[in-house]
Amino acid sequence: MENGFVLQIDYKNENKILDILNSDLFNDCLKRSFILRRKQLKNYGKDWKLYEVDIIKGYIFMEMIDLDLFKKKLSKCKEIFELNNHNKIRLVKLQKHDLGFLNKFNSTVIDNSTGDIENGKIVVKEGPLIGEEDLIRKVDRHKRLAFFNYKFSFDNYDICLGLEIKNKTV
């Protein structure tokens, strides 16, 4: 992803705003726009079901073709303004480290990872968290989640991604 931006909006209507951004109205100024999501397994009784959950609520990531044209069209689109409860919409250019973080996962929906805990250290064996073990600050083995803090150029975020711990050795 190059020439990336993030649009801060009201998270309650982010899917409706995303639909507008993905419509024909913005085709000539946006390459793509998406909400960063992760896959999460949830346990219901004896069954595990896979869901998609927003990672960062209230932010739409975009790959821009023409920034000036986008701003012009955004200012004329009253529907986005109304869906955002008449609040100011914040547009922020993503820095290199943000783009590197997003490109590392190579998807708009981040898959689950699997790994082990060996001598108190997390070792990721499969999935997008390989090599990111140092960022993980907490693991919830029952919910199969890994928590880490990431400093984006627009804000600090506690992010959780799917991580199933298969084995634990002392």
pLDDT, one tens digit for every residue, the chain (170 residues):
678 999 998 888 899 999 999 998 898 999 999 999 998 877 788 888 888 889 888 899 999 999 999 999 988 888 988 888 778 888 989 988 888 888 877 778 988 899 999 988 899 999 888 888 888 989 988 888 999 888 887 888 888 898 989 988 87
- Answer for the pair 113, 65: CB distance below 8 angstroms, yes or no: no
pLDDT digits (tens, 9 = 90+) for 3-53: 899 999 888 889 999 999 999 889 899 999 999 999 887 778 888 888 888
CA–chain centroid gap for 3, Å, is 17
CATH architecture, domain defined by 1-110: 2-Layer Sandwich (3.30)
Enumerate the CATH 3.30.70 domain ranges in the chain, comma separated: 1-110
DSSP the chain: --SEEEEE--GGGHHHHHHHHTSGGGTTTEEEEE--EEEEEEEETTEEEEEEEESSTTEEEEEES-HHHHHHHHHH-HHHHHHTTTPPPEEEEPPHHHHHHHHHHTSSEEPPEEEEEETTEEEEEESTTTT-GGGEEEEETTTTEEEEEEE-SS-EEEEEEEEEEEEEE-
